[in-house]
Structure 1
């Protein structure tokens, strides 16, 4: 491929580096690129095809232009243009034309900020509920996009997989399930519908009230859904309240709409929401990638790939070598050169945890697996991809299993693949292998040879079984004799060992007795000294005890004398108290007598006062009573 990097400065309709008419045509194309959003939503395209220029200027005019622009002052744009020579089929013999693809470039800064709301204690809860979708929140670099773009050049619409020089690759549902840590459920798969959103089901899945859910649903691109800002606000509110189930659900549905099933910028549409509620995204993810790639590869027209590019990148990188020459290659080596240097033996076929396990090879009455994506329905052919699950392709698949009409003769897989490559052609020239080739015998044979070898193998297996039985009988007899000899040797060894143990034991006993005698003499001396010390201590203890007893007797006598004095004083106090009580009682009796006398005198005084008042009243009334004497 002949490539020329040209940096242009576009200012007010002028292009530096191209003369006259080419300037105006390029300027019009750039204006169209910058102003027109296209029919694919709010997506920033990185690849543009200038058909007008190629017709005017021949093979030196750009066929593919990669533009990365930053708006400067006064309408100035800095544009980097990758100019590729227009190579026709006659200039690239045996190779098919390149197809230009573009991918969604979601803004993940908001998602990154939302993910920081999950505390380390609740990351495990998120993983248990929604799998490993957090690792899908990353932005593809230009080199990552180049890897996917190169991979898509190998897509074969007839086989519905990626055809390389001597091997096939294609995303399996089991591959995606292993990457995301989400199980494939046995249920009716998702299909797009125009029915009204199920407010109740969405509310339960997001742990929101029906009123909040209904109020948050908006319309964009003729589809209802949630704006990412709404989900971010609610996630922060529930994080402050400590409702971590709601926080995890809101973050998960945001990843579904922005990363796994992208459609509109910063908008989670109803299809992504229904997939989140259904909790079975794997079949739809696989359907999206096959349908979108197949649709854009039709007639080699290219365009926007509507699938999760991050997941497709992770899947592809999993099969590439992780060590050796391939990893040590300089980063400036382009992907087509790197991939064309790989062979089937270099691919990491066993990197998946599901290798060797059962996988979905057909569905219902279909000979292959039909998948319904968000944009459409398509089938893919797992029978061609058995090697990715650790199985060999011993017989060719039926025509119905791959839904193709081309002839598939009964021969080795490698020859069939070679003919398919010759028929469809590869996008790049085959380079030298990165890893040395090892001479090996052919593993693919015809069916007749295979059946003959199988019969011979069965016959040899029967003969081997008889020989093994004979050998087993001889070995059993030999084992019995050998066992008897070993028993005798063991008994003799035990006797010798027991004699050695007894001899050693008696020697140790003699040494122990001598040592014990010496220790006994030393102990007797220590005991005599200790007895003397004890007798001295006893005499001192007796003397101290006598002194203490004398002191106790003296103290007892002193306390008894003091006690007698206190008893005498107490008797005096009691006598004085009794005398005081007797005087108090006498005083109270006299007081009662005086009170009675005072009461009697007061009564008499009252009676006398009444008599005096009555007498005065009689005297005052007396002269006016009775007839006059005149």
Structure 2
């Protein structure tokens, strides 16, 4: 929330560059919530554009987007909650993400119900209105798709379809559809525990209805084509086939021999590689032993040379002392 509470009209007017009394005259209450209609704010934006007050124009336009697109509550209505978020971003540069996440989570929680719409107003089914026409949705026929059992045949009026192709002609009927959504009836536990079972009476009704609309349960009997009887082959054809078979057998044996020979050559090559690797490892081992022996001999000779040098020094010193 902006400053922990809804902003005053004076603060909103100052932020938007609009006279406070003019803004107060445009405030309306819809569903117990205070705000401004989209039409009034658009008029303010046009007046600001004509006066070339572009900063204020951009603020009003942004506020309309906040209330209609980002944080909608009622149709064509910008409430003070959306104004709150807009002012928080405008003055304190607060992120919109927490507010959008909270609003989205609330909407998902509000609409995630276990009950399903079964009827609207005086309609025994659910009328759906699109941009180009209308059609009804029959819950009685789709109840199993929602995981609920069908206990009895549906009422004929509840499955009677209707279609509206021209939205400009049947205005009274469209008005009835629009007002029917003010009285939505939902069912949940009344439909029973979730399963896909059907009662025998429904099966009987379904069979009769399928026969009535000429849709058989069983598919058409598949047509099995008879295999034509082959004529007996001549002796020459049999001999040619036998020659081809013998040739194929010979090629198969030759290929098998070549495969065995290639496998033996591969195994022999692998054996030679293994032996060569062993010889290399043995030669390396001998070279290491010889190198270690040379190193030991060198160390011994150096030690002997040092010892001999010391003895010669002692001998020479003894001669000097004797003289």
Q: Normalised by the size of structure 1, how large is the TM-score?
A: 0.18
Q: Which has the higher contact order (CA 8 A, sep 6+)?
A: 1
